[in-house]
Amino acid sequence: MSSPPSALDDGQELSTQGKSFNLTDIIMTNHVKIFDTTLRDGEQAPGFSMTSGQKLKMAKALEGLGVDIMEAGFAAASPGDFEAIKTIATEVKDSIVCSLARCNEGDIRASGEAIKPAAKSGRGGRIHTFIATSPLHREFKLKMSMDEIVRRATAGIELARQYTDDVEFSCEDAIRTERDYLKRVVEAAIKAGATTINIPDTVGYTTPEEIQSLFEFLASDIEGADSVTFSAHCHDDLGLAVANSLAAVRGGARQVECALNGIGERAGNCALEEVAMALRTRKDFFGLSTQLKTEGLYGASKLLATITGNPVPRNKAIVGKNAFAHESGIHQHGVLANRETYEIMKPEDVGVSTDNLVLGKHSGRAALKNRAETLGFELGDNQLQSLFVKFKHLADEKKEVFDADIEALILGEAVGEIGPWALESLYVSAGSDDGKRPVATVRLHHEDGRKETWSQEAAGPVNATFLAISHITGQPLHLDSFSVQSVTEGEDAMAEASVMVSTEFSSYHGRGTSTDTVLAGARAYLDVINRIERRADRQKSIAAQH
Ligand SMILES: CC(=O)SCCNC(=O)CCNC(=O)[C@H](O)C(C)(C)COP(=O)(O)OP(=O)(O)OC[C@H]1O[C@@H](n2cnc3c(N)ncnc32)[C@H](O)[C@@H]1OP(=O)(O)O
Ligand SMILES: CC(C)C(=O)C(=O)O
């Protein structure tokens, strides 16, 4: 198979506006800087705002990922954002911390003050100042002439340079700006001292070919181009943000602005995890690297989803639950033979665990046998066939078949129903605002005849219920997740609760259903405890046999 042409093939001739030049002569570095804007453009989207503490937590995760620059906020936006940037600039050691500012004195001074802790420590902080340049924004939004915008940009950059040597300038809505005028603004910005020139596709309007040619034009036609880093900032209104960012890089951009999970204004920004893994996976094509520790991508993405309360869609590239999951028999068969049949990246390279064949109704014998073996069961052909029949029946009823379900099938048990513990009654008092905490009274009975009741107070009714169950069973569990979803429609909808728990040795998933959500939760929690106890019993009897 012949390899695809690299973006940086030696001697690649580019033609822009009738001129010819060699891109490798102009772009000396193969390092693409990752400028993360999760905490600024990402946070400014509805439903994604974070407290200062949450921003710091995310900032630490981004630092751990190895982003070159993190835009921590917009210092003039609010006292809270100012303080958050200042704290991040104090705490973050390995990434450059940046604040956004309009081209006006107040914003730039606020940004300069906010990043001072980073500047003082010698690491340096960045001020990112911007002004719109397109005709629409000039006429209707800013109501400024072309000359006035150039004056504002120049003055803003000069002021920013009094605080830091690291000044980024953005021509907002650059894509819809006349090329001649864009050239004029960018040249003025470079003369005024900007060290990074960002070309935003503010409204997600461009196409890969168009943006690549624009960056080639900048690299070849702008005076002072070789003294600055060109940067792309693409929005996803047409679903092209990642493709456009990669095309910009092919055109000469050496900084990509992006956000985890692709969050950002409207449809979002270029997704950090996607652009980073595209550069890594297709290094043969792009010939470029980032300094990201991509193994942290999945964890950082999950942290962001948890902090903002916005789950990552299952089918999201790189970090979605399905990104490395295979349910179809033919795919599973291929992956078991050689992962590369259906995987272009290693799950562990983005921090996803490798045990990810999802068993469901489309799965085949190969995957079932493999999972049974992973769980420690060697099956003969007849046993596998009989298990497969039971498994298919179960998969028709359940969306996903978990390890514990398979264990139960192999051992001939009904799924999620059999003890040793059974819930006899649950009574919960909650909802008053008279200062009393919710109380759950739980009565369980064990198959050995024991019956026990316990009342527990806690911050919430579900928490109180779980604590009471743990008290009776002697199983204090650490929850990985608890969720409830409606599985039928109408006022008496059936709720399905799902509980995930990790112990030292394994993960357990329990389910419970009821029209009462707290009762569904109690059943799911008890389901987990029963699974743990049954497994322990099994292991004891296996040990006794040997
Ligand atoms: C493409 C982007 O993502 S840009 C970043 C967008 N992010 C944000 O806006 C979040 C933070 N913003 C805020 O908190 C507020 O908008 C503030 C505090 C910055 C300003 O609030 P206000 O003073 O009430 O102004 P308001 O938001 O109503 O309007 C923006 C003003 O800035 C002006 N302006 C907009 N961009 C720029 C710029 N780059 N440089 C100079 N002035 C600008 C507008 O012309 C308008 O001026 P006017 O008040 O004289 O009409
Ligand atoms: C401030 C700039 C970079 C921006 O967010 C945009 O144009 O989308």
Question: Within a domain: residue 317?
Answer: no
Say what the pLDDT of residue 505 is.
Answer: 65
Could you tell me the CATH number of the domain that includes residue 433?
3.30.160.270
**pLDDT tens track for 244-260:** 999 999 999 999 999 99
Which residues span the domain enclosing 356?
Answer: 329-410
The residue among 67 and 491 whose pLDDT is bigger is: 67
Q: Which residue puts its alpha carbon closest to atom 6 of ligand 2?
A: 202
Could you tell me if 280 and 394 lie in one domain?
Answer: no
82 lines ligand 1 (CB under 6 A): no
Residue 406 and residue 266 share a domain: no
Query: Does 2 reside within a domain?
Result: no
> 394 and 336, same structural domain?
yes
Shared domain for 206 and 239, answered yes or no, is yes
Task: Give pLDDT, residue 501.
Answer: 84
Q: Give the residue whose CA is nearest to atom 25 of ligand 1.
A: 77
pLDDT at position 135 is 98
**What was the pLDDT predicted at 417?**
47
Q: Is 235 in the pocket of ligand 1 (CB under 6 A)?
A: no
- What tokens were used for 229? 């880093």
**Cα 124 to ligand 1 centroid, rounded to whole Å:** 26
CATH number of the domain at 193, please.
Answer: 3.20.20.70
pLDDT in tens, 438-450: 999 999 999 999 9
Check whether residue 448 and residue 479 sit in a common domain. yes
Task: Write down the pLDDT at residue 11.
Answer: 38
The reply to whether 315 falls in a domain is no
Q: What is the pLDDT of residue 493?
A: 52
pLDDT on residue 545: 66
User: How confident is the model at residue 522, as a pLDDT?
Assistant: 94
Statement: residue 58 has pLDDT above 90: yes
Q: Relative to the alpha carbon of 176, which ligand is closest? A: 2
Give the 3-state secondary structure of 151-188.
Answer: HHHHHHHHHHHCCCCEEEEEEECHHHCCHHHHHHHHHH
Amino acid sitting at position 453? T
Relative to the CA of 104, which ligand 1 atom is closest? 41
| Res. 498: pLDDT tops 90 | no
Say whether both 95 and 154 belong to one domain: yes
Average pLDDT of every residue of the chain: 87
Per-residue confidence band for 413, with pLDDT thresholds at 50, 70 and 90: very low
